[in-house]
Amino acid sequence: MLGLVPGLDVIDLTHELPAHDIRAGALALVRAVQYLPDGCVVLAVVDPGVGTDRRLLGVECEPATFVGPDNGLLAPAVAMLGGPRRVVTLTSPEHRLPAPGPTFAGRDVLAPAAAHLAGGGDLADLGEPVDPASLVPGVLGLPRPLEGGAIEADVWWVDRFGNCQLNCGPDELAAAGAQPGGTVEVLIGERAKSARWVEAYADARPSELVLLVDSYGLLALALDRQSAAGEYGLRPGSSVVLRPPGATVPR
């Protein structure tokens, strides 16, 4: 990109995603988009289908434009920004590098397209328009209300401290009958634990499971100075059931 647009500012979000993990990539984008500067171009590459007939797209939103594979990686972040204004498939031969093989589209197709846009080029130069409704949908699930008032939630993210971010926000839990400062029963497989809804990690007593709102506004399961993920065998994609006071769980 710097070879095509000297002086370009490049901000590295992360290269530390698990290999082939489209869900983790989509979550990293969702976490970042609310902080993106106006007019930026986002190059996103988690592409297990590289070299196949999956599409490579440029997706213009407000305030950012994304370039990446059409495999669900971009869709959650695009939705968070209000949906796409324009979408094209990256087919222009003038805006790619000569490729010695088909398996490095990030370097040979996506990076030149991102540089073109960052240098002031128009999205329409990069290929043919695409129906926005045809984008592959996102791979991040939503919390699922259960009969009786409980909520089934997924672990979206486990940080290096072992805190487990859920795909459920405080408003959803409050609507189900839970209150900050109160307790929620958490069903993890065959285990049932009572968790207090606290404000800070340090509010947890030794070995006490707690729920709190994390820095992204979502609920997280945590232990004070211990790994909740390790203690309860949780990992990204694990499911838990949150049972507020008065709720029942279907058997």
**Among candidate residues 134, 157, 180, the one where a domain is terminated:** 134
State the Cα–Cα distance between residues 148 and 187, nearest whole angstrom. Answer: 14
CATH of the domain at 58: 3.40.50.10790
CATH of the domain at 165: 2.40.30.90
Query: What's phi and psi for 243, nearest 5 deg?
Result: -120, 95
Instruction: Give 129's contacts (C-beta < 8 A, 6+ positions apart).
Output: 86, 87, 88
pLDDT value of residue 142: 87
pLDDT band of residue 88 (cuts 50, 70, 90) is: very high
pLDDT value of residue 42: 97
Nearest to 46 by CA among 1, 100, 106: 106
Given strand 56-60, what is the order of strands in its sheet? 41-43, 65-69, 56-60, 86-89
Residue 151 pLDDT greater than 80, yes or no: yes
Distances (CA, A) of 11 to 8, 14, 15: 10, 9, 12
pTM: 0.83
Instruction: Give a yes or no: residue 235 inside a domain.
Output: yes
Residue 159 and residue 238 share a domain: yes
Distances (CA, A) of 49 to 66, 152, 167, 250, 251: 18, 31, 26, 39, 40
Domain count within the chain: 2
Nearest to 22 by CA among 1, 49, 43, 40: 49
Residue 150 and residue 80 share a domain: no
For range 20-34, the mean pLDDT: 92
Task: Render pLDDT for 162-185 as a digit per residue (tens, 0 to 9).
Answer: 999 999 999 999 999 999 999 999
**Among candidate residues 103, 134, 165, the one where a domain is terminated:** 134
Instruction: Give a yes or no: residue 223 inside a domain.
Output: yes
**Among candidate residues 100, 134, 168, the one where a domain is terminated:** 134
Residue 156 and residue 126 share a domain: no
Residue 251 pLDDT greater than 60, yes or no: no
Q: Which two tokens stand for residue 162?
A: 């072992």
State the Cα–Cα distance between residues 157 and 164, nearest whole angstrom. Answer: 6
Task: Render pLDDT for 203-244 as a digit per residue (tens, 0 to 9).
Answer: 999 999 999 999 989 999 999 999 999 999 999 999 999 999
Residue 97 and residue 152 share a domain: no
Nearest to 45 by CA among 64, 18, 73, 65: 73
Residue 235 and residue 164 share a domain: yes
Q: Are 142 and 152 in contact (CB under 8 A)?
A: no
Q: Are 54 and 71 in contact (CB under 8 A)?
A: yes
Nearest to 217 by CA among 145, 148, 165: 165
Residue 149 and residue 57 share a domain: no
**Mean of all residue pLDDT scores within the chain:** 94
Residue 148 and residue 63 share a domain: no
Domain carrying residue 210: 144-243
